[in-house]
A and B are shown apart, each in its own frame.
Chain A
């Protein structure tokens, strides 16, 4: 399997506190990978380091065969590695349409902006209705749809979503899930961080648990992981008799 994204021995953190401890991870060219694990153990930090918001302390990040560790976010976006951050508030005083179009800011994405905008409206028909509305006036679910839509406008070769359903009501959460399912059906490789493992299992090929800034466990989604096994991964084996 040739890897689209390869992370090798990555360490990073904030100030003096180290969050990632030599983490290694691969995402294949057509793969959908889910990250889960306890809060504060480095899932978000991993995505922020991959997308260039944080500088790696050591280790390598290789995307489509090129090292990207330490590059500026815009150089990474230009390569088609798109990060949709957690709880993205976007631009409160901009309209939905304007925000989506800004998502195709990088020169590479600009060329396919029209096609991608149609794709976004296909996946999220609601966003076409809301085109002229200010982002500030959207509901949490709608705003999350815009955030994912912005990611798609970046013409992603790999789309990284950080807790796309965080803080959403169950019904809305279902809608967003379905939409992300439609995104992945279009063949966009995904790296999704999510607490809700049940949600992840429907969406992804492989599940990776991050604990203490390292990969603690990996399993293919098809291998029939059940609830108890996931609980065991969270809390350690043997806790459930």
Chain B
């Protein structure tokens, strides 16, 4: 294996890990706060990419990528709130919320995916890269877009961490996830925080979609595969925390990159699931779980 291949594998692993981390943090945030899995998470990726495309691309409004990202993040925060209000809130009092949420979020995702197809059509689109061109690193050319993703994602995750650890609202969000009744009795608006956790998750997924749209062609179902991977990552990393899934995201990303190179794309999915099952047999609470 040459240095060049090694760097390519490392880079592609880090890019995948970054994208999975962005998605997994959102899934885990919703899980720890509300105790449900949000299967509409994948469609937030798709919508992030398409909204950014409409604003940024010359065939849409042509306002450039920065405007596209801003609009995508803002609209997705709203959509996240809306998803919580429409798909989760009416059923909060039910004992079987976990199962109901599977059905309602899947239904919402189907609805939005077909809506995307209806609005934007099936023709493949692509977003411009965050940064044009290539970087030279140890005489090996790597895409500047991918380097930007690898650099920017940790900053975004750090911002989420600062929000959760250092702000009042973030502390309240953690409080709700640890003891809802005690949070209620402190005067915390639990419904507002449920919506907020959905909004943050949706915005992170939307950003992941924008990044992904600069690498691959976009399609209405582009979010499904990353969501499944993020699901694996969250379970693999231990669902009870946010740091577990982040670390697991990079582990899975790198494993996937190695596996794509050695086993090929065809066997990679199976190999990842095999690793996950093996880890969960030894550590049922996840690789980094308690």
Contact = CB atoms under 8 A, between A and B. Distances in A.
A90 B187 contact: no
Contacts of A157: none
Nearest to B191: A72
Contact of B186 (A52, A77, A89, A92): A77
B134 interface: no
Interface stretch (B61-69, B177-185, B213-221): B177-185
Contact of B185 (A83, A89, A101): A83
B74 interface: no
Interface residues of A, number: 27
Given A94-B171, A102-B175, A105-B168, A74 B188 contact: yes
B168 to A, nearest CB: 7
Contact of A77 (B172, B181, B187): B187
B179 A89 contact: yes
Q: Which of B174, B178, B188 has the most CB of A within 10 A?
A: B178
B189 interface: yes
Interface in B33-81: none
A104 to B, nearest CB: 8
Give the most central of A51, A88, A93: most B CB within 10 Å: A93
B168 A89 contact: no
A112 to B, nearest CB: 14
Given A98-B171, A102-B172, A90 B185 contact: no
Interface residues of B, number: 15
Given A102-B172, A105-B168, A105-B172, A94 B186 contact: no
A181 to B, nearest CB: 23
A152 B182 CA distance: 14
A53 interface: yes
Dominant secondary structure at the B interface = helix
Interface in A69-91: 73-74, 77-78, 82-85, 88-91
A154 B181 contact: no
A53, A73, A84, A106 — most chain B CB neighbours (10 Å): A73
Given A91-B174, A93-B174, A85 B182 contact: yes
Contacts of B171: 94, 98, 101-102
Given A84-B185, A88-B179, 19 more contacts: A51-B185, A53-B184, A53-B185, A73-B184, A74-B184, A77-B185, A82-B185, A83-B185, A85-B182, A85-B185, A88-B182, A91-B179, A92-B178, A94-B175, A105-B172, A105-B187, A106-B186, A109-B187, A150-B182
A229 B212 CA distance: 76
A106 B178 CA distance: 19
A140 interface: no
Contacts of B178: 91-94
Contacts of A94: 171, 174-175, 178
Contacts of B184: 52-53, 73-74
A119 B30 CA distance: 36
A172 to B, nearest CB: 21
Nearest to A110: B168
A85 B185 CA distance: 8
Contacts of B186: 77, 102-103, 105-106, 150, 154
24 contacts: A52-B184, A73-B185, A74-B184, A74-B187, A74-B188, A77-B186, A83-B185, A84-B185, A85-B185, A91-B174, A91-B175, A91-B178, A91-B179, A92-B178, A93-B174, A93-B178, A94-B174, A94-B178, A98-B171, A105-B172, A105-B186, A106-B187, A150-B186, A154-B187
A3 to B, nearest CB: 23
Contacts of B189: 74
A102 B168 CA distance: 8
A91 B182 contact: yes
Contacts of A74: 184, 187-189
Interface in B189-226: 189
Contact of B182 (A90, A93, A106, A109): A90
Interface centre among B168, B172, B185, by most chain A C-beta atoms within 10 angstroms, is B185
A98 B186 CA distance: 13
A94 B174 CA distance: 8
A83 B185 CA distance: 6
Nearest to B241: A93
B88 to A, nearest CB: 18
A73 B182 contact: no
Contacts of A92: 178-179
A186 B181 CA distance: 27
